[in-house]
Homo-oligomer: A and B are copies of this chain.
């Protein structure tokens, strides 16, 4: 019936120029460089424009200025709250800087990642890759074509924001060890993820230092289901504490343990990472708090700096700190397993001051 999108061609700069009896250049200036015009001209033009319902055509503007006014964020999995939080930070900051945001979800698939990048990079001024799964070479190649900021990937000559979880995983390990755990598992994240490698290294080094048995449990994807599926192996291996790659997997592990009739933390201690789901678990999850949204904001800042040729050289390397927060999923190992007993900690939801990282990492650090 009423064929909705009314086909009345929207007014162009020429229409406004005619109506306001000025040149097209003047209309253009009224919108983009008003200070070049007399106040009264600006007033008249904008009035006429408003009356006609004129809005500058974004595409035309993009073509002639060469600036798209858009940026793209690529994430491996928007299903993961870590990335949705990141996305929020990006969108907020992008909007403040007057950019619109494309979102690409690569579904952990490097090839889809490439396809999406190809599709998006044509219409953006810059890209943000969060935890990309692409190869170093592919990333470097992309960085040569478009301004690019990485999050959680450490490549020389590409500006990047790194979330330092490694040192906090070390703290978490120490925490488990101080509770008396002697046999601990690290439930791994994606093999291609930088952060997985970092965390593994940190955890290994602490285990070695204390002579603790550490087992690695590889998983297909960082999902609830994979966490859940790892439980069989966790139980069989006889460990008493599990460090998961992230909160989502930790939650899966908790659910898996529960369905095996085991309770957390009495039968097993579990620690997550990201902090995004920690308070949504029951009992609340001891976890590493990551300021995801802040990482997104910083990425946008870095990118806009880059686009405006400000500071931010391509060697910028920003490291964001994280905090270890003890909640209710860590406790001494069960009697049968304990090699050292400590008083039972009281579940609480406030940051454990003793374990919060010191000044050295409290503020972003540029190198």
A123 touches B1 (CB 8 A): no
- A313 adjacent to chain B (CB < 8 Å): yes
| Contact across chains for A79 and B84 when beta carbons are under 8 A apart | yes
Question: How many copies of the polypeptide does the oligomer hold?
Answer: 2
Contact A280 B224 (CB under 8 A): yes
CA distance A131 to B293 in the complex (A): 24
Q: Which of A3-11, A175-183, A206-214 contacts B (4 or more CB under 8 A)?
A: A3-11
Among the stretches A16-24, A250-258, A333-341, the one at the interface with B is: A250-258
Is A189 at the interface (CB under 8 A from chain B)? no
With an 8 A cutoff between CB atoms, is A314 at the interface?
Answer: yes
Q: Does A282 contact B (CB under 8 A)?
A: yes
**Stretch of A41-49, A102-110, A194-202 contacting B (4+ beta carbons < 8 Å):** A102-110
A354 to chain B, nearest CB (A): 25
A215 at the interface (CB under 8 A from B): no
Q: Which residues of B contact A5 (CB under 8 A)?
A: 143-148, 306
Contact A157:B79 (CB < 8 A) given known A55-B122, A60-B63: no
In the complex, what distance in Å separates the CA atom of A279 from the CA atom of B281? Answer: 14
**Residue of A84, A85, A146 with most partner-chain B CB within 10 A:** A84
Does A345 belong to the interface (CB within 8 Å)? no
Can you list 24 contacts pairing A with B, beta carbon distance less than 8 Å? A3-B313, A4-B158, A5-B143, A6-B144, A6-B145, A55-B122, A58-B122, A58-B123, A59-B63, A59-B68, A60-B63, A70-B102, A78-B88, A87-B103, A87-B105, A91-B104, A95-B119, A100-B120, A123-B123, A224-B280, A252-B280, A255-B281, A255-B282, A258-B283
